[in-house]
Amino acid sequence: MFTSSADRDIIDMQPIKRKENKILKENKKENKKENKKEKKKENKKGKKSKEEQIIIVNNIQASSPPEDNLRTVTLYGDVTEDSAKEIVSGLLYLESTSQVSQYKDPSDPDSEIELRNLDINLLVSTNGGSASDMFSIVDTMKMIQKKTCDVSTLGLGKVFSAGVPILASGTKGKRNIAKNCRVMIHNVSSGVAGTLDTMENEIHEIRWIEDSYINCLVENTKLTEKKLRKMLNSKKEVYISAEQAIKLGIADNLV
């Protein structure tokens, strides 16, 4: 078979074109691979940036403080073992949740975050009751004030006998009393019966309770031991108005 010179040129060019097509295909494959790698890198960067943004947002969030009325314990009724158990448990729980983080300037979300301790509120309205249970409440209040946060007290209606040291044991400056609240102080009383030895032992314990009651009021009020003993030796119940309670240092503020 004979071919012309033009046909020969065409035949000679075919291998070259095949090589060029092969090279182009290989280049396309490499370009696709590179594009896929770049997309994967971009996706990884996008995921990382999203994760970083989430971390940043979580770090700058400050917890909003619970409302004051949710941080209130109420002594409304006699001071008994059961009521003291509830009050002490409530005080200790609120102490454990007292620390919160807040913005230094609440109106500026870019301001520094600081830690602060929220107060505990204790409402008191009682005819009195057990001295030992009263001291369990007072000691818990003092422990919390010393270690963690302030305890604000509010006297309502009546604060008699064992209720007086509880009202007075609040953080100074934060002991409040309602205008129509009445305060009453009297001698420690107890029904003692039995043998002479038993009665003498009980009388000794009653004296210890009375001394502890007086010392507690002397530590937390403007009352002196001499004045308190004079009030108690009157052998009658001593009633005090809200205004007088403030003057005597049993409370600080009239509300």
Distance CA 168, CA 153 (A): 8
The answer to whether 177 and 255 have CB atoms below 8 angstroms apart is yes
CA 18 to mean position of chain CA atoms:
81
Q: At what angle do helices 131-147 and 196-220 cross, to 10 degrees?
A: 30
Going by C-beta distance under 8 Å and a sequence separation of 6 or more, which residues neighbour residue 37?
Answer: none
Query: DSSP assignment of 191-221, as one string?
Result: ---S-HHHHHHHHHHHHHHHHHHHHHHHHHS
**Which range (124-133, 183-192, 230-239) has the least confidence?**
183-192
Residue 1 is predicted with a pLDDT of: 47
DSSP-derived letter for residue 43 is H
Residue 100 is predicted with a pLDDT of: 84
The CB density around residue 180, as the number of other CB atoms within 10 Å, is: 10
Decide if pLDDT at 5 tops 80. Answer: no
Residue 204 is predicted with a pLDDT of: 86
pTM of the model: 0.70
- Give the position of tokens 């204790």: 122
> How many CA atoms lie within 13 Å of 168's alpha carbon, on the beta-carbon side?
30
Decide if pLDDT at 128 tops 60. Answer: yes
Higher pLDDT, 59 or 239: 239
Higher pLDDT, 106 or 129: 129
Residue 48 is predicted with a pLDDT of: 52
Higher pLDDT, 124 or 56: 124
Going by C-beta distance under 8 Å and a sequence separation of 6 or more, which residues neighbour residue 253?
Answer: 174, 175, 176, 177, 246
Residue 67 is predicted with a pLDDT of: 54
Distance CA 160, CA 134 (A): 12
Distance CA 14, CA 17 (A): 5
Higher pLDDT, 116 or 163: 163
Q: What is the pLDDT of residues 190-230, one digit of tens each?
A: 666 667 777 778 888 889 999 999 999 999 999 999 999 99
Residue 188 is predicted with a pLDDT of: 78
> 199: phi > 0 → left, psi -120 to 50 → alpha, else beta; which?
alpha
**Which range (33-47, 173-187, 235-249) has the least confidence?**
33-47
Nearest to 83, CA basis, from 48, 123, 52: 123
Banded model confidence at residue 252, pLDDT cuts 50, 70, 90 = very high
